[in-house]
Every structure is written in C-alpha cells, then in structure tokens.
A and B are shown apart, each in its own frame.
Chain A
Amino acid sequence: DAGVIQSPRHEVTEMGQEVTLRCKPISGHDYLFWYRQTMMRGLELLIYFNNNVPIDDSGMPEDRFSAKMPNASFSTLKIQPSEPRDSAVYFCASSLTGGGNEQFFGPGTRLTVL
C-alpha cells in the first residue's frame, strides 16, 4: 500500500503569493495531521482531522493559514498571503485511529517564500 503522498515536494514562491500544499493519506486511515518543521520551533502540529472534520486547529499560526479535507483521501493546507517566515518543511501524517496510534508521515513539502 502506498504511504502518505504529498505534493509538491518543493515550492518556491514570492511573498504575497498564495500557496497550496496537498496531501493524500493512507487509505483507511481516519486521522490526518498537518505539521510544520523549522529550525527554531522544531516539529509543531498545525491542525488535525478526524473523518474529514477538523478537530483541533489551535496550532494554526494565524488567519493566513487554512486547511480543508473535502473527502477521506485528500487534504489541502493553504497559505494566503505567504510570508518569508512561513518558509519551512510541511509534513502531512495519517493514522488508523486516534488516541495514541502511530502516525505515518509523508515525505514533506519544503516551502521557500522569498
């Protein structure tokens, strides 16, 4: 079975542009997570979904960030407008169930905002 799929793998954009990151979780997994990794802050959870419903978005940095999960096999993380401080690696992960089940991560999207 394929793992978590993310696209694009690399994104370079200019400040002010809209950026959309995409994720396809492992089939059958009910939970989907978006993380951000930076040198300064490490790995931090942005938002997670259960059965396509957002459960906790307390980690979303500000209104410029939004995430959707229109169906069980697809999620997007959008940044509009993007800023240089958004430069980071964004990971998507999925798990079969919640409550301590292991999360399987995608390869990540490296975002650079100039």
Chain B
Amino acid sequence: AQKVTQAQTEISVVEKEDVTLDCVYETRDTTYYLFWYKQPPSGELVFLIRRNSFDEQNEISGRYSWNFQKSTSSFNFTITASQVVDSAVYFCALSTGANSKLTFGKGITLSVRP
C-alpha cells in the first residue's frame, strides 16, 4: 500500500519569509513518482513538479525548490521569499510503477500575510 503524509496542516508566514512544506511517503515499489500540486483559493489544482524515484537531484524553479531524499522518504518543497500569491493549499502525491493512480496527502494550507 502507498501513503503520503503531510504532517503540517496549516502554516502562516509573513511575506518574504522562506517556508518549507514537508512530505513523507511510503511505498514498497522501487519505481515511483512524486508530485506537488497547488490549489489556490479559486479551487483549481495546478501541477508544480514531478520527480521519479531514480532521480534524487534537487530542483530549483525560480523561488521554488524541491529536496528529494530517498533515505528519509521525503520530498520537501521550499518557497523562498514567499509572496501573498503563494497562499494556497499544497498537495504532495505519489504514484507507483506502471500504476496511474495518484495518492494524495491531506494538503498543507499556506497563508502568506503582507
């Protein structure tokens, strides 16, 4: 069985602060894929990043960065110099092998105050 745990439920920061959103996953498969999605107040789900289990290289995209560590089964997401527009619910998700099913975590509500 596969599982995604986002232990943080709500985070509140002041604009320009850095913030890290944690994600821990469980799977027995050696081939798997990890994702982050953003759900802003408008409600749509926006794809942010996909990582496969064979690529532990960290990734940076503008103010966003992702740290994948297989040793701790974690795929954490950092927003540098947060902005009010970053306020949203962020979901971490997992799929395994050839299976197309996405298992989502419960989500983290991030509030960025001006």
Contacts and interface: CB of A to CB of B under 8 A. Distances in A.
B64 interface: no
A48 B101 contact: yes
Interface in A73-114: 89, 91, 93, 95, 98-108, 110
Interface in B62-114: 91, 95, 97-102, 104-107
Interface residues of B, dominant DSSP? loop
Given A43-B91, A89-B43, A98 B100 contact: yes
Interface of A is mostly: strand
A18 interface: no
Given A42-B107, A100-B52, A102-B50, A91 B101 contact: no
A99 B97 contact: yes
Interface residues of A, number: 26
B44 A95 contact: no
A33 to B, nearest CB: 8
B44 A100 contact: no
Interface string B43-64: 1111100101000000000000
A27 B31 CA distance: 28
Contacts of B50: 100-102
Interface string A31-53: 10100000000111100101000
- Pick from B32, B101, B106 the residue with the most CB of A within 10 Å: B101
A14 interface: no
Interface of A: 31, 33, 42-45, 48, 50, 55-56, 89, 91, 93, 95, 98-108, 110
Closest 7 CB pairs of A and B: A100-B33, A98-B100, A105-B45, A43-B104, A99-B98, A102-B50, A102-B47
